[in-house]
């Protein structure tokens, strides 16, 4: 999950230009910024450097135990990947499918589109002062696609046949097939020094590089740490790309500190007490009831709902199909029917959310109604592998109740339908429980790492218990939950996937059969469907935007007919709060962004913040 989020953050916004050397590459459409542009529109190129910001990770992370974000075992500190490591190309926050040269000063795609050549910027330097060379790029690729790396990388970079060093600063990526996204995937490769992890002249295997200080090329290095808890990144005063157009006006803080707390309550109280500067809220009840008090009333703390143009996230309870009890689609649909979302939204969420409908809700890629001609053309070759209703019926929508005025259903109607489905699947109520033909009772364990899902699971459990399903809710440490997810040891988990304006190769890791059996993959559900694999293959080979739209809609339709998850809800704004008087920001807000990355890369410290930080640094010396 963590690694997948890192990869998607690098390429979800990048993504064909003619086959000549260019400063940028676009999978579909035009390139906004021409060669030699000065800076991105959403930054302040004159933003002063200095000052500091402290924040908490947007995830439920409660500790870290390594400095290597590329291996499966362990948890890296927040911010490490984006602040310390860089890639050949970099995305923007105002274009959905374009990337610009960073470590690479230009990219050339071959006429047959089966390879891409990157020429490295001669200014590029690692933190140890040594130049970034083609040999480092090849080394990074070889390490990340080895068995010592987390398996997500082998899936993600699987369509790259190999990397060849053509010169000191020239490297070629060869592709297994024509795919307009592959130059972007190659460009998203995180590059690190061949000397990282070197011991007595030899480089250790990647999975043995644990607490060795990373040798990246990014704007920050690791500074002061309270290992396992807090970590500070210090801006590199000799950062090689400080005046590069794709970096001008960015990464302005001298210090960025992440503080880690045990739970959301501790985080919020620490924020109110002034222990850190910025926080993002994910719980509607907390936002409505807890983000209040004298500090907010006096304007010392600011809370704001920020608009954005991001594709909607997918969030839901994911079934683990490796459990026999969840293999039957009728069982999964029955469990889905037991959730009364409309009641939850009114009673628990202050009507702050919208129901997730599918895997690409609210985007061009969302399937709607019955399949149209474009979708049917995509689905036609799979007629024998898919149920007939995929071709004839309306796309399945999450169940509604009478609280939804447009629905004629009640919760009782939904539970009756669920009971019938369970009976058809061989589960009947007897001796006080729902049982199968082997007399095994139906039980479900919900895992959580913060306890915040308890108020959602409790009413949901009451409905499931009416069907005879026994429910347990268990709160465990975030690190333990991640370990159990890595080995797929769970019944149902709550999971959130960031939306993407151009979904592509990362979907293989989420829904592809090869990933289903790979420990540490993001195919938590365990989907192993030849039809889904065929659709994924079509998605990543799309050559035009209309092709991509039709193929993703077909994929969305097939996944929704599979009832692989109980859809949750999403918000249309970012809810954030920060300490007043500490920061400034440009007048232009980008369209596509996540608050953490936007704040740490685009904002800058106020004059008083910079003065205070300078004084503290002087006293420390």
* Residue range 525-545, pLDDT digits in tens: 999 999 999 999 999 999 888
* Residue range 119-132, pLDDT digits in tens: 999 999 999 999 99
pLDDT at 478: 85
pLDDT at 554: 98
Give me the percent of the chain exceeding a pLDDT of 90: 84
* Residue range 372-387, pLDDT digits in tens: 999 999 999 999 999 9
pLDDT at 17: 38
* Residue range 192-241, pLDDT digits in tens: 999 999 988 888 999 999 999 999 999 999 999 999 999 999 999 999 99
Please give the angle made by the CA atoms of 208, 523 and 186, to the nearest 5 degrees: 65
* Residue range 94-114, pLDDT digits in tens: 988 899 999 999 999 999 999
SS3 488: coil
* Residue range 57-73, pLDDT digits in tens: 998 888 999 999 999 99
* Residue 229 vs residue 30, higher pLDDT: 229
Nearest to 96 by CA among 549, 576, 536: 549
Note the CATH architecture for domain 2-32+53-260: 3-Layer(aba) Sandwich (3.40)
Cβ atoms of 602 and 585 within 8 Å: the answer is yes
pLDDT at 263: 87
* Residue range 399-452, pLDDT digits in tens: 988 777 677 789 999 999 999 999 999 999 999 999 999 999 999 999 998 888
- Is residue 19 predicted with pLDDT exceeding 60? no
Domain boundaries, the chain: 2-32+53-260, 268-307, 314-569
pLDDT at 20: 52
- Is residue 242 predicted with pLDDT exceeding 50? yes
Q: What is the DSSP string of 565-600?
A: EEE-EE-SEEEEEEETTSEE--SPPPSS--HHHHHH
Give the fold, CATH level 3, of 314-569.
Dipeptide-binding Protein; domain 3 (3.10.105)
Average of per-residue pLDDT values in the chain = 93
Lowest mean pLDDT among 14-18, 478-482, 558-562, 564-568: 14-18
- Is residue 480 predicted with pLDDT exceeding 70? yes
- Is residue 12 predicted with pLDDT exceeding 50? no
For β-strands 301-307 and 89-91, DSSP reports them as: unpaired
Radius of gyration of the chain (CA): 25
Lowest mean pLDDT among 2-11, 320-329, 528-537: 2-11
- Kindly list the distances between the CA atom of residue 475 and the CA atoms of 173, 424, 472, 552, 567, in Å, as whole numbers in the listed order: 45, 33, 10, 35, 21
């Amino acid at each position: 999950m963590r690694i997948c989020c890192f990869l998607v953050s690098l390429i979800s916004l990048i993504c064909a230009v003619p086959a000549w050397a260019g400063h940028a590459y676009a999978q579909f459409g035009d390139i906004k910024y021409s060669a030699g542009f000065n800076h991105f529109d959403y930054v302040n190129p004159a933003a002063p450097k200095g000052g500091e910001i402290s924040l908490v990770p947007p995830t439920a992370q409660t500790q870290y135990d390594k400095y290597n974000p590329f291996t499966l075992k362990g948890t890296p500190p927040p911010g490490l990947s984006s602040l310390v490591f860089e890639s050949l190309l970099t995305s923007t926050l105002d274009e959905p499918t374009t990337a610009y040269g960073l470590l690479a000063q230009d990219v050339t795609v071959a006429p047959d589109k089966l390879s891409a050549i990157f020429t490295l910027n001669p200014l590029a330097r690692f933190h140890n002062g040594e130049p970034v060379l083609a040999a480092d790029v090849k080394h990074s690729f070889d390490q990340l696609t080895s068995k010592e790396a987390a398996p997500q990388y082998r899936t993600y970079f699987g369509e790259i046949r190999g990397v060849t060093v053509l010169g000191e600063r020239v490297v070629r990526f060869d592709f297994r097939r024509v795919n307009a996204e592959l130059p972007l995937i190659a460009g998203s490769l995180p590059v690190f020094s061949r000397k990282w992890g070197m011991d007595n002249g030899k480089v250790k295997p990647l999975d043995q590089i644990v607490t060795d200080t990373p040798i990246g090329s990014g704007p920050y290095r690791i500074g002061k740490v309270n290992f396992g808890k807090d970590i500070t990144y210090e801006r590199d005063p000799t950062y090689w790309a400080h005046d590069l157009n794709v970096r001008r006006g960015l990464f302005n803080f001298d210090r960025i500190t992440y503080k880690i707390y045990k739970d959301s309550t501790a985080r919020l109280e620490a924020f109110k007490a002034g222990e850190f500067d910025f926080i993002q809220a994910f719980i509607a009840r907390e936002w409505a009831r807890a983000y209040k008090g004298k500090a907010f009333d006096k304007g010392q703390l600011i809370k704001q709902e920020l608009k954005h143009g991001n594709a909607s996230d997918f969030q839901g309870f994911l079934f683990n199909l490796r459990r026999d009890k969840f293999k039957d689609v009728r069982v999964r649909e029955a469990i889905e029917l037991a959730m009364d979302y409309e009641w939850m939204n009114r009673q628990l969420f202050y009507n702050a959310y919208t129901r997730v409908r599918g895997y690409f809700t609210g985007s061009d890629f969302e399937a709607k109604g019955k399949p149209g001609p474009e979708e049917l053309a995509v689905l036609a070759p799979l007629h024998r592998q898919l149920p007939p209703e995929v071709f004839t019926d309306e796309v399945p929508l999450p169940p509604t109740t009478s609280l939804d005025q447009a629905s004629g259903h009640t919760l009782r109607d939904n539970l009756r339908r669920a009971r019938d489905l369970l009976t058809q699947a061989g589960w009947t109520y007897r001796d006080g429980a729902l049982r199968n033909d082997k007399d095994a009772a139906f039980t479900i364990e919900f895992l959580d790492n913060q306890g915040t899902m308890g108020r959602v699971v409790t009413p949901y459990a009451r409905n499931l218990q009416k069907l005879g399903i026994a429910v347990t809710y268990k709160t465990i440490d975030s690190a333990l939950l991640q370990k159990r997810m890595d080995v797929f040891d769970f019944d149902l988990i709550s999971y959130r996937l960031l939306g993407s304006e151009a979904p592509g190769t990362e979907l293989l890791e989420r829904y592809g059969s090869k990933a289903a059996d790979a420990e540490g993959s993001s195919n938590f559900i365990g989907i192993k469907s030849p039809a889904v694999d065929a659709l994924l293959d079509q998605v990543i080979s799309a050559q035009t935007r209309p092709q991509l739209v039709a193929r993703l809609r077909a994929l969305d339709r097939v996944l929704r007919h599979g009832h692989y998850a109980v859809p949750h809800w999403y918000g249309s704004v970012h809810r954030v709060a920060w300490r007043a008087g500490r920061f400034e920001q440009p007048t232009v807000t980008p369209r596509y962004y996540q608050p953490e990355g936007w704040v740490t890369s685009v904002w800058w410290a106020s004059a008083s913040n910079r003065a205070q930080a300078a004084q503290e640094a002087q006293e420390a010396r």
